[in-house]
Amino acid sequence: MNVVILAAGMGKRMQSALPKVLHPLAGKPLLQHVIDTARSLAPSKLCVIYGHGGAAVPALVAGLTDGAAITTALQEPQLGTGHAVMQALPQLDDAQPTLVLYGDVPLTTAASLRALVEAAGSDKLGILTVEQSNPFGLGRIVREGGNIVRIVEEKDANAAEKAICEINSGIMVIPTAHLKNWLGSLSNQNAQGEYYLTDIVAKAVADGVQVVSAHPSAEWEVAGVNSKVQLAELERRHQLNIAQRLLEQGVTLLDPARIDVRGELICGRDVTIDVGCVFEGRVELADGVTLGAHSVLINANIGAGAHIKPFCHIEEATVGAASQIGPYARLRPGTTLAEDVHIGNFVEVKNSQVAAHSKANHLAYIGDATIGARVNIGAGTITCNYDGVNKSRTVIEDDAFIGSDSQLIAPVTVGKGATLGAGTTLSKDAPAGKLTISRAKQMTIEGWVRPVKVKK
């Protein structure tokens, strides 16, 4: 099967310099949604027609290397949908039918497209149609005796045709050899002065090619994006679809209307997600994870029974089972926490490994560190990992106790079972099992009087 994706439009109503098909839905460009769905159908040829946006659309396409190869063709000037498909003709296999998709219609499911392809077979023209209560502005499906005979656009329709509620989604499967002949005979004698792809329907009827239809599961599958309002509406529709699937899998969502998945979210059993959480990239939540409100997780793996409290930011990090994180904690890339680790409020961890049962409960920075088991890190502790040029590593071995307001100047090692007194600045290794302290001598200055402001 050939697939042609039309993505040449400028999208004036988007009020943006960014080409319409590159605007994001759920963190991914509209066009990429369509390409991903098309690739799931295993096409032999896949061509994207671009126009506005210069090199931006081909650049996106060039970066999508995981799947069927994609070619591009430039439509310049833009003279309608029929003219757009003409640009792909040299790249199509005549022996295979051609599926036409749209780069600004992102939510059509692979199941609906497979149904259309199956209905069309190799010799029929198939159209994905849908009944709409308010079809204003859309092409109408005109039938005679139940058979599709043509499609009429809103601006060219008479009163009777405008009363038709079955609309053309624009998505078609077409026998390619016929498609080439029909496109060559298109006319632009219409209200828009464009070459309509829909005009091939009447040509198919005239040539005795059967025209069939298939229907998506819902109207939103064929909804396009022409404005930021429509983009926002589809975003919420898409997120609600994701929420519905999560609920059906047994995930507890405290409000299904307030979740944003901008990638892949994989949940185990008995997972609870509070409101306002955002997921980007690939996020895995194991059995029994509880996720507090307004947390952001990016390419993260959260172990079974872990409790992420509200307002946490976790990026490219692994949290071990039964750990407690937050509130207001930040785990940066390269962080790996073992089981039952506590990272408390306003604690930041970066590129560090923390072994089981260790705790940093508040107001600490742990960067480029290897921390053993059962370590306690007091409030205000900082691993000083950067000298302005190079980053060095701090090692804190098992059962160490780091007193509050300590600074560990890397590279440095705190031995097993060692204790650092509060306020220590550690620039040399602390031996195992001993108390190490660096602190200015406390003094009281007799006779000192606090200055008084002099009146002018």
pLDDT, tens digit, 9 for 90 and up, residues 211-225: 999 999 999 999 999
Q: Domain 228-436: which topology?
A: UDP N-Acetylglucosamine Acyltransferase; domain 1 (2.160.10)
Q: Does domain 2-222 have CATH number 3.30.2010.10?
A: no
pLDDT-based confidence at residue 68 (cuts at 50, 70, 90): confident
pLDDT-based confidence at residue 67 (cuts at 50, 70, 90): confident
Task: Please tell me the predicted confidence (pLDDT) of residue 332.
Answer: 98
Q: CB within 8 A of 443, min separation 6: which ones? A: none
pLDDT-based confidence at residue 137 (cuts at 50, 70, 90): confident
**Which residues are catalytic, by number?**
362
Q: What pTM, to 2 d.p., does this model score?
A: 0.91
ω before 106 within 30° of 0 (cis)?
Answer: no
Which region among 22-31, 46-55, 324-333, 394-403 has the lowest average model confidence (pLDDT)? 46-55
Task: Please tell me the predicted confidence (pLDDT) of residue 10.
Answer: 81
Task: Please tell me the predicted confidence (pLDDT) of residue 389.
Answer: 94
Measured in whole angstroms, the distance separating CA 254 from the mean position of its chain's CA atoms is 21
pLDDT at 53 over 80: no
Q: Domain-by-domain residue ranges, the chain? A: 2-222, 228-436
Task: Please tell me the predicted confidence (pLDDT) of residue 182.
Answer: 96
Q: CB within 8 A of 246, min separation 6: which ones? A: 253, 259, 265, 267, 273
pLDDT, tens digit, 9 for 90 and up, residues 428-441: 999 999 999 998 88
pLDDT-based confidence at residue 396 (cuts at 50, 70, 90): very high
